[in-house]
Structure 1
Amino acid sequence: MLFVSILRELTTKKRVLFACIGTDRATGDCLGPLVGSNLKRLGYMVVGTLDEPLHAQNLMQELHTISSFYNPDIVLAIDACLGKHDEIGKISLSNSPLTPGAAVHKNLPTVGDISIMGNVNMGGFLELQVLQCTRLHTVMKLASDITHLIWQSIPAAPKDDLAARPISQNQCS
């Protein structure tokens, strides 16, 4: 599968941190935390789970923590998006960061070196209500599919590597 081979190529021999963006307070926006919870159970290094979501209120603080505490080689951001009707259920991979909250007109910083977006519903009108009324089945299927694609592409970190790798003094500039 092309998705798997591209993702594997982008992350080979890299310490990957998954930044799974969203909240469990809106069905359409819980895609990131669902994927994050799945990945964490599988042994991946994750920020953003159902238990501890990565969302608009804590994003700036967590981005600082990611860079200073986790010290990943690459950050893979995962988030839900809105699009056209025929794109619902589609997953896209991009060799660039994503802009969380764009569908609901929030001004947030970009996240990640690469990104995965799952289209959960149609955009263009009353986006907040659309996210609230998105079918849970659609989000759960996307979360399962994204988790499986990552599992096929990127090996989970060894248990002793799951702890944060502090930045040494000579790495700071």
Structure 2
Amino acid sequence: MPNSYYSDYRRTEEAASLEAFFRLAASRHDAGEIRFLCIGTDRSTGDSLGPWVGTMLQERGFGRVIGTLEEPCDADYLPRALKSLPPEAPVIAIDACLGRPESVGRYLLAEGPLQPARSVRGSFPPVGSFSVAAVVNANGPKPHWTLQTTPLLRVLRMAEEIADAAALAWGMNDHLCSWRTIRYNRTNQ
């Protein structure tokens, strides 16, 4: 099977899982009450997934988004962001992570919290009623370097898939996906 076909097939499968995940959240909470906590920085390619997702969610009409390219929810800001969240608020936490080579490009979806900065041995409390951890690259001995050298196209495609799936689940699909037209060749991962 050609690499690009396999990649396109897997991407479709992952996008369907994301959409089902967000539909579960949408069945319990309307778009006005849900908060998206998009964790990451704009200073590292791999770790920029969160701010990209946050920006794309705002572009699709979501109002309660913490963590965008303009105002990233990075390691310095995250403690303040966590304190600003109302205790009973439904939160979808979104963060990049590193994983096994065969998991790159996939999503770890959970009804429950994620541990921010775990890949780089950070020490933040778990966060989220729901969580999306996007495996942007393979784990290795130098996680910071691995995140720095993660291909931007992979991050953008994954961010867009997350934002599109959320928009579809809440019926906010007026401005979907501009990057889908770019062919993604698995050899560029």
When residues 6 and 146 of structure 1 are mapped into structure 2, their CA distance, relative to the original with a 3 A threshold, is closer
Partner of 2:117: 101
The one of 45, 54, 67 equivalent to 1:36 is 54
Question: Equivalent residues in 2 for 1:113-132 (5 A)?
Answer: 113-132=129-148
Residue 27 of structure 1 pairs with residue 42 of structure 2:
no
Shift of 1:148: 1.1
Cα deviation digits, residues 35-79 of structure 1 (max 9, x gap): 0000011111200000001111111111111227xx73x100001
Cα deviation digits, residues 16-45 of structure 1 (max 9, x gap): 100000001000000000000000111112
Shift of 1:10: 2.8
TM-score by length of 1: 0.82
Residue 52 of structure 1 pairs with residue 71 of structure 2:
yes
Partner of 1:159: none
Opposite residue 53 of structure 2, the aligned amino acid is V
Partner of 1:63: 82
Take 1:53 and 1:46, find their aligned partners in 2: how far apart are those partners? 11
Moved over 3 A (4+): none
Q: RMSD between aligned alpha carbons?
A: 1.6
Opposite residue 53 of structure 1, the aligned amino acid is P
Opposite residue 62 of structure 1, the aligned amino acid is A
Opposite residue 138 of structure 1, the aligned amino acid is R
User: Residue 12 of structure 1: SS of its match in structure 2?
Assistant: helix
Partner of 1:148: 164
Cα deviation digits, residues 61-113 of structure 1 (max 9, x gap): 11111227xx73x1000010100111111123111101111000011111111
% same residue: 36
Residue 88 of structure 1 pairs with residue 107 of structure 2:
no
Segments of structure 2 that go 5 or more residues without pairing to the other structure are 1-15, 173-189
